[in-house]
């Protein structure tokens, strides 16, 4: 495995049908030529990803992204104009040139124009779009640095394009359409209030149908460390060999392992640091990671709460 910022090298590997890890503003992705079904299958085998979990396709511009969509609802165009390049994925009906491996057989396709300079330069030099899920083994925490990718997939991929730490740190907001009306399939940095500003109403959150979730980010245990996690509710003592993920706090706790998401309790910093903090606690061989509840009144913490609920495997009792 090699790591660097050589766009020509990444391009050559992708053109040859190989996979390359790429930076985005949300999390690192594991990319392949979205028009080449063999290359796309490599993504699934490297990640150990089940074949029912569709991939997001990344393009250099909204024109290039929409070239793969069969229909373009007015609201999708308005959202793309407002938020692309950026952390928004739009799920639209796909054209048949997109192989069914990309969409796990679905008629719809997730499209995104990422906002990361190095990745945008790469996309501009390619004459195909990039299918890319997050660059982690299936079910584990998403990577927000090249080192996170190298840690887990380094032995299985030929190159990591290193674009520095991700500035947002949580995966994109996913928006689908039902009879032309927007619905949120996965909360993210772009919030329903931001979307309402553009389309004139607050989109509903689509909950998971039991058997086959439309977005497997909806699987209840996902984005998880290997160490058991539990919400820290009420008063209690941290046991031997247990650690704590604190939301905020300026005093250094003593006597146990810990990470603090944001000393001053800022949501954007907490989101950016979440996956790195979970990884670092997960490496310490702890028996348990306690998770401090996110306080009320600090703004819209929906995306952060969503990822923490999935990492812990359940919502806090007090929510």
Selection from ligand TXA, Mg ion, none that 27 binds (CB < 5 to 8 A by kind) is ligand TXA
Q: How many residues does the chain have?
A: 319
Query: What token pair was written down for 268?
Result: 């954007």
Q: What is the DSSP code (8-state) at residue 155?
A: G
Stretch that binds Mg ion, among 134-142, 205-213, 239-247, 309-317 (CB under 5 A): 134-142
Whether 23 and 162 have beta carbons less than 8 Å apart is answered as yes
Interaction with ligand TXA in 17-76: which residues (CB under 6 A)?
A: 24, 26-27, 29, 53-56
SS3 196: helix
Query: Cα(164)–Cα(154) distance, rounded to whole angstroms?
Result: 16
Minimum CB separation of residue 13 from Mg ion in Å reads 21
SS3 205: strand
Whether 47 and 31 have beta carbons less than 8 Å apart is answered as no
Q: What contacts 16, CB < 8 A, 6 or more positions away?
A: none
Among 24, 89, 103, 134, binds Mg ion (CB under 5 A): 134
Residue 140: how many CA atoms within 13 Å on its side-chain side?
20
Query: Cα(172)–Cα(111) distance, rounded to whole angstroms?
Result: 11
Q: What is the DSSP code (8-state) at residue 284?
A: T
CA angle, residues 238, 278, 228, in degrees to nearest 5: 55
CA dihedral of 96, 100, 101, 103, whole degrees rounded to 10: 90
Among 59, 79, 98, 215, binds ligand TXA (CB under 6 A): 215
Q: What is the DSSP code (8-state) at residue 207?
A: P
Query: Cα(36)–Cα(127) distance, rounded to whole angstroms?
Result: 12
Is residue 185 at the binding interface for ligand TXA, with CB under 6 A as the rule? yes
Is residue 274 at the binding interface for ligand TXA, with CB under 6 A as the rule? no
Among 62, 112, 116, 206, binds ligand TXA (CB under 6 A): 112
Q: Which lies closer to ligand TXA via its Cβ, residue 179 or residue 240? A: 179
Minimum CB separation of residue 316 from ligand TXA in Å reads 23
Give residue number: closest CB to Mg ion.
Answer: 134
Is residue 80 at the binding interface for ligand TXA, with CB under 6 A as the rule? no
Stretch that binds ligand TXA, among 66-74, 106-114, 248-256, 301-309 (CB under 6 A): 106-114
Q: Which lies closer to ligand TXA via its Cβ, residue 54 or residue 163? A: 54
Whether 106 and 73 have beta carbons less than 8 Å apart is answered as no
Is residue 91 at the binding interface for ligand TXA, with CB under 6 A as the rule? yes
Q: Which lies closer to ligand TXA via its Cβ, residue 105 or residue 295? A: 105
Is residue 174 at the binding interface for ligand TXA, with CB under 6 A as the rule? yes
Is residue 171 at the binding interface for ligand TXA, with CB under 6 A as the rule? yes
Binding mask 124-153 for ligand TXA (x = CB under 6 A): --------xxx-------------------
End-to-end alpha carbon distance in the chain: 44
Stretch that binds ligand TXA, among 107-115, 236-244, 246-254, 264-272 (CB under 6 A): 107-115
Q: By the criterion CB under 6 A, which residues form the site for ligand TXA? A: 24, 26-27, 29, 53-56, 87, 89, 91, 103, 106, 108-110, 112, 114, 132-134, 171-172, 174, 185, 214-217
Q: By the criterion CB under 5 A, which residues form the site for Mg ion? A: 134
């Amino acid at each position: 495995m090699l790591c660097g910022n050589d766009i020509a090298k990444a391009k050559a590997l992708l053109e040859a049908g190989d996979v390359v890890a790429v930076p985005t503003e949300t999390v690192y992705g594991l990319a392949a030529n979205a028009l080449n079904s063999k290359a796309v299958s490599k993504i699934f085998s490297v990640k150990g990803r089940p074949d029912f979990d569709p991939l997001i396709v990344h393009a250099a511009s909204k024109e290039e992204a929409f070239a793969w969509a069969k229909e373009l609802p007015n609201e999708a165009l308005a959202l793309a104009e407002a938020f692309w390049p950026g952390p928004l994925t739009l799920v639209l009906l796909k054209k048949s040139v997109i192989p069914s491996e990309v969409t796990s057989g679905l008629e719809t396709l997730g499209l995104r124009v990422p906002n990361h300079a190095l990745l945008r330069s790469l996309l501009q030099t390619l004459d195909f779009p990039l299918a890319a899920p997050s660059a982690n083994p299936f079910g584990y925490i998403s990577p927000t640095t090249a080192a996170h990718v190298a840690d887990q997939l380094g032995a299985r991929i030929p190159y990591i394009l290193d674009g520095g730490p991700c500035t947002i740190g949580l995966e994109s907001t996913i928006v689908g359409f039902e009879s032309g009306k927007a619905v949120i399939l996965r909360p993210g940095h772009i919030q329903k209030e931001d979307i309402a500003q553009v389309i004139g109403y607050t989109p509903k959150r689509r909950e998971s149908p039991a058997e086959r979730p439309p977005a497997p980010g909806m699987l209840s245990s996902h984005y998880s460390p290997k160490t058991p996690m539990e919400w820290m509710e009420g008063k209690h003592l941290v046991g031997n060999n247990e650690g704590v993920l604190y939301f905020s706090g300026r005093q250094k706790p003593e006597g146990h392992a810990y990470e603090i998401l944001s000393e001053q309790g800022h949501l954007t910093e907490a989101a950016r640091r979440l996956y790195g903090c979970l990884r670092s606690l997960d490496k310490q061989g702890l028996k348990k990671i306690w998770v401090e509840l996110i306080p009320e009144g600090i703004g819209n913490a929906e995306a952060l709460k969503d990822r923490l609920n999935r990492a812990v495997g359940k919502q806090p009792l007090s929510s």
